[in-house]
Structure 1
């Protein structure tokens, strides 16, 4: 079985004064034993005195088994493998930076591990030949992986490593060979594209639009066409009726800010057009990105509105009911219906 355990970064230990992500393993008499998630779960310790700048009233409120959070490296004993850490010395800015780096490194690690598992090779040699050189060149392998989505050859084909072998004369010879074989490249690129290809965001705005003038329906259709014309190739705008007077404007884009700006402008154009015909547009929900869950809830709302607008079964029968207000009267007989 291949060995799939490996640290995320090239150095075996973190540097002093560097923030790292830890997970609390267990709490002892003097402090908490933790594992360093980015360094193959090597053990470290946080003394109780390093938990908080304030007076400690309850240990359980400050640290819990299983929790993941940033900590600052205080001391590293490379010979014995001891690492002392501090929670209280991590600033808010350092914590945010650490969490962002860890989330990126975790994704890179997952992709590298999947490739090693698929190819049935050890993980560390993959890091030595591909992962860590990309960290050195791009600052973080995550940035290189983003480029691989569209240009795998430009990122991977230039990677090389030195391989030693014994020559014909019995002397050791160092050769420079490509770091990425076709099999490794195929496994990496497939997984990177599956995990890191940007997904378009759905931007949505909800409005109420009314026009009680003559040909009001035509004026509303004109306003809808103007709104859709305000879109562009990157952010095409669509507007549809949900249930009078509710309409929804949508677009899909990779750029959230651009999508919101385009949809906001489309809403404005739609309002100006309908107001020229003495109609009115009220924004119920401004342009915003919606998740799949939001989209499903909105679809359910539409379904309920449509259902509520349908006629109930009894309506048709009531229109066809026989008028029996006069009873059974025969108007052909003389004198009927006269004084």
Structure 2
């Protein structure tokens, strides 16, 4: 299986050419007077052609508004010439449903291809050979290798150990014999499983909501503290809820979960519980930002902002015992105990 100069170029699917009336992902290479030349990304960049008359159902006013060099998009297969090795395509005949199916398939195939190519490169093996004995059998059995890779994350042996290859050897008597052996060596198997787990292990989503909470009653700080506890009590082990003070009266609720819909639902319930608790004491809660997923950058910016506020509070804390502090009365409650609030 290993060679000194492995081939790292290969189509994503077992078929060398796409079927007619199939949507495929292309990249535009050049635009001529009569047609645009493209490469089929899923089929090892074989050449395709789109007649300018197949760009749009409407009257074409500007070619550049319809197609540009470098653009990647789905188109429909009209005709395949396997002898000449090119494909006639149409942009105007692809429907919204076709586009959605094509994009979903391509995104999955691209990830599978990236993993397969990385394994072939690092283990110095032929990419097409890896596809023949591993990738394409998984496509046939599971509909898409992506579905098999998802199962490999948690139980690799049950998937990979079913893959075999037939080799021919010369026996002791000089006659040729065939043997069925595993599709991959243990080293290649370990590299494949490691790369799949690194690329496909689900990562928890961070869900966040921003609220404003106030209570003007006596012991308002304690009422806010209790409302925060009610909000956090809504969470569970799979979707824990945390609430933090940003700057009075602004608070953030956040959670981490693999299920986006479940995370948003939990935070909405936490907001409801918090609202009910604070309104019992004539307080008010306003949702400034509804529960939504946040990026690593947004989460980092929030953490940096909270850290900055913490440092500023420490600097102010050096004036303990001042007359001004005695006049204001209600101080901060320990953040760790979630008892932060202000009476205005």
| Aligned counterpart in structure 2 of residue 63 of structure 1, from 44, 61, 67 | 67
Answer yes or no: is 1:265 the counterpart of 2:274.
no
Partner of 1:206: 210
Selected match of 1:182 from 186, 198, 203: 186
1:291 counterpart residue number: 295
Deviations 1:183-204 (A, max 9, x none): 1111111111111111111111
Match of 2:148 among 135, 144, 169: 144
1:216 paired to 2:220: yes
CA distance in 2, matches of 1:162, 1:27: 46
Hey, what's the Cα distance between the residues in 1 that align with 2:64 and 2:282? 64
Structure 2 residue 2 is matched with structure 1 residue 3: no
C-alpha separation in 1, matches of 2:270 and 2:100: 36
The counterpart of 2:100, out of the listed 90, 96, 112, is 96
Q: What secondary structure does 2:61 align onto?
A: coil
Q: 1:78 to 1:169 in 2, by over 3 A?
A: farther
Q: 1:169, CA displacement in angstroms?
A: 4.3
Within the candidate set 194, 200, 208, 1:196 is matched to 200
**CA distance change for structure 1 residues 171 and 77 in 2, over 3 Å: closer, same or farther?**
farther
**Bigger shift: 297-306 or 152-161?**
297-306
Deviations 1:122-180 (A, max 9, x none): 10000001000000111111111111111111111111122223334444333221112
**Corresponding residue SS for 1:149:** helix
1:157 maps to which of 158, 161, 165: 161
Cα shift at 1:60: 1.5
Q: Note the 1:24-173 alignment, pairs <5 A.
A: 24-173=28-177
User: What TM-score comes out, normalization by structure 2 length?
Assistant: 0.87
Specify the SS of the correspondent of 2:121.
helix
Is the partner of 2:139 in helix, strand or coil? helix
Q: What is the alpha-carbon distance in structure 2 between the residues aligned to residue 3 and residue 82 of structure 1?
A: 22
Mapped to 1, the partners of 2:81 and 2:247 lie a distance apart of 69
Change (3 A) 1:145 1:287: same
Contact 1:157 1:180 in 2 (8 A): no
**Residues 19 and 98, structure 1, Cα contact 8 Å, conserved in 2:** yes
How far apart in 1 are the matches of 2:78 and 2:252?
55
- Residue-by-residue CA offset, 1:240-260 (whole Å, 9 max, x unaligned): 111111111111000000001
What is the total number of aligned residue pairs between the two structures?
318
Larger radius of gyration: 1
CA distance in 1, matches of 2:195, 2:86: 36
CA contact (8 A) 2:46 2:86 kept: no
| Higher deviation after alignment, 104-113 or 153-162 | 153-162
CA distance in 1 between counterparts of 2:48 and 2:174 reads 46
Q: What secondary structure does 2:60 align onto?
A: coil
Cα distance in structure 2, aligned partners of 1:296 and 1:256 = 20
Aligned mates of 2:243, 2:224 — CA distance in 1: 11
1:332 aligns with none
The two structures have a TM-score, normalised by structure 1, of 0.88
Distance 1:175 1:308 in 2: 73
